[in-house]
Amino acid sequence: MTDTSEPIRVLLADDHAVVRAGIRQFLEYAPDISVVAEADDGAIARSLIAEQQPDVAVLDIQMPEASGIEVTHWVRANHPAVGVLVLTAYDDDPYVRAVLEAGANGYVLKTASPPEIIQAVRDVHKGKSALDPVIARKLMSQLASRQTEPQYESLTERELEVLEFVAQGYTNKAIGLQLGISDRTVQGHLAKVYSKLDANSRTEAVMRAVAEGWLAPDLGQA
């Protein structure tokens, strides 16, 4: 959970200086958020993430040198503790799928209000899924329209319990305390969940479980 004595350290990457300045201004208006670095292309973003180790990287999709999707892939492979929030003007289906498959923790449109974007940063820092309501509705609609029967192997009762806590933003350690098991065991259950749901991130796993009717929709938006 967010420690109010230490602000959430954010890296902001967007190739438009005016946009970056606006986002930075309202993010830093929040007392628990500090923008520690800015990048105007994907290559610089990777370098600064490696150097600064921010809590959350806020990335645009379309950037020179490396896209936000490519940077997200790199973060997941090299700095898994860094949360990734994609903040973009694009709500096109291919972008949404690519971002979630790359392992981003959140996807928010630039049309969102400053308080909504601030909350998305906080949610990503806490380990929650942060999906723009427009994106969430589109994903649910697409998944529902494609399904006539379950597409994935069923989860065990314990795997479902673990995923319910994931949807509420609990860390592996916190889930272990709730269930009386080690965080290593939690990680093992999550690995099986990812495999069964063909998911690459906590957000993707939660969304697919919701689409299957295994989790209530409001859990994923907690």
DSSP codes of every residue in 82-130: SEEEEEES---HHHHHHHHHHT-SEEEETTS-HHHHHHHHHHHHHT--E
- The dihedral of CA 99, 137, 130, 92: what is its sign? positive
Q: Residue 162 maps to which CATH number?
A: 1.10.10.10
Residue 161 and residue 105 in one domain? no
Per-residue pLDDT tens digits for 113-156: 888 889 989 988 887 777 766 666 666 555 555 554 556 778 88
Q: Note the pLDDT of residue 2.
A: 43
- Report the amino acid identity of residue 48: L
**Spatial distance between the Cα atoms of 164 and 190, rounded to a whole number of angstroms:** 11
Same domain, 15 and 104: yes
- Which residues, 6 or more positions from 149, have their beta carbon under 8 angstroms from its beta carbon? none
What does the pLDDT look like over 27-65, one tens digit per residue? Answer: 988 899 989 999 988 999 999 999 989 999 999 888 988
**For residues 204 and 2, which has the higher predicted lDDT (pLDDT)?**
204
Distance, CA of 34 to CA of 25 (rounded, Å): 10
Same domain, 132 and 195: no
The domain of 111 spans 8-138
- Which pLDDT does position 170 carry in this prediction? 85
Lowest mean pLDDT among 91-95, 142-146, 201-205: 142-146
User: Is the model's pLDDT at 78 over the cut of 50?
Assistant: yes
Residue 3 lies in a domain: no
Q: Distance between CA atoms of 206 and 214, rounded to whole angstroms?
A: 9
pLDDT score recorded for residue 139: 62
Specify if 2 maps to a domain. no
Same domain, 161 and 87: no
Whether residues 92 and 157 share a domain: the answer is no
Domain's final residue, options 101, 118, 138: 138
Average pLDDT of the chain, as a whole number: 82
pLDDT at 137: 65
Mean pLDDT of 88-100: 77
pTM of the complete model: 0.64
pLDDT for position 36? 92
List the CATH number of the domain containing 38: 3.40.50.2300
Q: Flag whether pLDDT at 110 surpasses 70.
A: yes
Q: Of 117, 138, 159, which residue is a domain's last?
A: 138
Q: Which has more pLDDT, 147 or 185?
A: 185
Q: For 130-142, give one letter per residue: b (16+ CB within 10 A) or e.
A: bbbeebbebbbee
Q: Residue 1: inside a domain, yes or no?
A: no
pLDDT value at residue 136? 66
Q: How confident is the model at residue 175 (pLDDT cuts 50, 70, 90)?
A: very high
| pLDDT confidence tier of residue 105, bands split at 50, 70 and 90 | confident
Confidence of residue 218 (pLDDT cuts 50, 70, 90): low
Predicted pLDDT of residue 220 = 44
For the cut 50, the answer to whether the pLDDT of residue 221 exceeds it is no
- Name the more confident of 37 and 92: 37
Rounded to whole angstroms, how far apart are CA atoms 200 and 74? 13
Average pLDDT over residues 72-78: 89
Q: Which of 138, 162, 193 is the last residue of a domain?
A: 138
154 and 125 part of one domain: no
Please report whether residue 200 resides in a domain: yes
Number of domains the chain contains: 2
- Judge if 30 and 115 occupy the same domain: yes
